A and B are shown apart, each in its own frame.
Chain A
Amino acid sequence: MSVKLGVPSKGRLMQKTFDWFGARGITLARTGSEREYAGRVDGIDNVQLVLLSASEVPRELAAGRIHLGVTGTDLVREKLVQWDQKVEPLAELGFGEANLIVAVPQAWVDVDTLDDLDAAAAAFRARHGFRLRIATKYHRLVREYLREGGVADYALVDSQGATEGTVKNLTAEAIADITSSGDTLRANHLKVLREAPILESQATLFRARRAELSDDARATLAELIQKLGL
């Protein structure tokens, strides 16, 4: 039985993950054609590279189909109920850093805090007859955060992409999304609330707590963790 390592299959996140492992003597590489999702691991035996979408890594870890996986903290927290019982963070990888935040139009000069957002939502509902809409794909995290912050009279609307555009398109009044530099928010005339972010996320190596391991796989995992200096 080999140890299965799940890594994002595309782009910057994949390359940075390869670099991080490479710097620690474990070479990860894609094999075959550019379009084929197959990979190779050098520097340790018995480790199998599984290339998959970053958003599927949490589910695969929770199900125990992979033993280790690299993905963002945001995805793990959003997708896994009681995440800390299902996965264990082994290392923060120092890239893919982004905050999950709530943003409102810059022109809302009266709204800077959750307290303001709640008051604006109450007035908005009274006037428009529906609850103030917040576009996001992080439904659980945002709902929990707003409940904790005592915000009522809002509705979450699902937005799987181009979330910053929803306010201008009149499909939402505010958004909750991941941002790193804030450039996209500013370009879309949005500002971040002056509150602690919902979540500070970065690419993280997780271990599946419930994945089955044979004796040899357990030894391989221990060797890998040692080589990675964790």
Chain B
Amino acid sequence: MSTGAARDRAMMLRDGFAGQGAEVIDCAILQPAETLLDLYGEDIRARAYVTQDPARGERMLRPDFTVPVVQMHMAEGAEPARYTYAGEVFRRQEDHPERASEYLQVGFEVFDRADPEAADAEVFVAIRDALGALPVRAVTGDIGVLTAAVAGLDTSEARRAALMRHIWRPKRFRALLARYAGKTPVPEGRAALLAAADPMAGAGPLIGLRSREEIAARIETLRADAAEPPIAKSEIEMIDELLSVAETCPFALEHLKHIAMDFPVLRDAVARFERRCDALSARGVDVDALMFEASYGRTSMEYYDGFVFGFGAEARPDLPPVASGGRYDALTARLGAGRSIPAVGGVIRPDLTLMLECGV
């Protein structure tokens, strides 16, 4: 439960963001479950509280503010916009019962088309400044570098789409990549199925909604995939090398530039990273000491698609990040009914800032 002290801190942080020009907003605690289930799939049920309303159907206690803030902005917001909010979020903690399931979050979100890298830096610096002198360490990353690499793979569109779909599931991504590289044995009986003149012969009665035509379409996809040459070793190695980048920003930038020499598809993403480093530097961030990890942010909630960052307590690696955030352009498109806008934001946990100040 959130204490009075955490609540006071939350209001103070929110007022701080408001002082930098952000509009103070609020969102309902009970959100329609459908939107969140559509975005995150069934996995979110393990992380959020779902409740039943006899008239409105399934509702979810808001697991974060980002989705309702994006919905609100897309429906009625003027551009550009800066928002701040403070309030409880609710997370089930099945794997970590010792962690809080109800806590305050203070957020700062920027919807601005003008200069995305400058907006990245603005949000990062606003969050960093709000944390003050706390003993925290920042890590940054960029999901956009990996998506650029996948989008540029010399393979079929179907394979690229499948990899994109699993960018946020590292284990599954890795398994797919191994299969497309020809390193995984084909399931038993698969060759015979694909060679069969009538694969459905002797399959038994068809029951359920999935039609004969859909099964046939998937078999065609499998046939096309079987005819596709494996993804080149050099490209697999490029992805491996990319994901292993974990060093301070200047070294990471050099490393990525080096990779991009052989893989020009990465150039735009690397140029964005460089512009962001410059923008952070211009705002007084010591970029030479700032960590960049290419795989950072891949296992959290799957809406960040560009810059990502987190501030962790140096002496308490067991705690969740004290603050985190990132860019979610694609989310605005998903929720925008045909419209989209570049957006980036971050949140702070006031309870954890208090805990660290007390030296716990």
Contacts and interface: CB of A to CB of B under 8 A. Distances in A.
B203 A143 contact: no
A167 to B, nearest CB: 4
Contacts of B206: 105, 107
A156 B45 CA distance: 10
A131 B45 CA distance: 14
Given A110-B218, A194-B187, A124 B210 contact: yes
Contact of A109 (B41, B166, B200, B208): B200
Contacts of B171: 148, 150
A23 interface: no
A110 B219 contact: yes
User: Most A CB atoms within 10 A — which of B97, B205, B208, B209?
Assistant: B208
A120 B179 CA distance: 17
Contacts of A156: 42, 45
A162 B158 CA distance: 37
B189 interface: yes
Contact of B209 (A82, A150, A155, A170): A170
Interface in B33-73: 37-38, 41-43, 45-46
A107 B46 contact: no
Interface string A127-158: 11001100000011001101111101111100
Given A143-B46, A170-B209, A107 B200 contact: yes
A167 B208 contact: yes
Contacts of B210: 105, 108, 120, 124, 132, 173
Interface size class, chain A: 35 or more
Interface in A147-195: 147-150, 152-156, 167-168, 170, 172-173, 188-189, 194
User: Most B CB atoms within 10 A — which of A105, A124, A172?
Assistant: A105
Contacts, number: 110
Nearest to B215: A110
A53 to B, nearest CB: 24
Contacts of B38: 131
B166 A194 contact: no
B162 interface: yes
A116 to B, nearest CB: 8
A107 B45 contact: no
A46 interface: no
Interface in A66-113: 81-82, 105-110, 112-113
Nearest to B190: A112
A107 B41 contact: no
B217 interface: yes
Nearest to B203: A107
A117 to B, nearest CB: 11
A91 B200 CA distance: 46
B184 to A, nearest CB: 9
B188 interface: yes
Given A112-B189, A115-B175, A123 B208 contact: no
B46 A140 contact: yes
A105 B190 CA distance: 17
Contacts of B190: 112
Nearest to B302: A152
B214 A127 contact: yes
A144 B169 contact: no
25 contacts: A81-B94, A81-B97, A82-B97, A105-B210, A107-B204, A107-B205, A108-B215, A109-B203, A109-B215, A112-B188, A115-B175, A115-B179, A119-B218, A120-B214, A123-B217, A139-B45, A140-B46, A143-B45, A146-B42, A147-B46, A154-B41, A154-B42, A156-B42, A156-B45, A172-B208
Task: Give me the 10 closest cross-chain CB pairs, A-B, nearest first.
Answer: A150-B172, A106-B204, A107-B206, A167-B208, A107-B203, A110-B218, A168-B207, A109-B203, A105-B207, A150-B169
Interface of B: 37-38, 41-43, 45-46, 94, 97, 162, 165-166, 169, 171-172, 175, 179, 187-190, 193, 199-200, 203-210, 212, 214-215, 217-219, 221-222
Given A107-B215, A123-B221, 18 more contacts: A82-B97, A107-B203, A115-B187, A119-B218, A119-B221, A120-B210, A120-B214, A124-B210, A128-B209, A132-B210, A140-B46, A140-B94, A143-B45, A155-B41, A155-B42, A168-B207, A170-B208, A188-B207
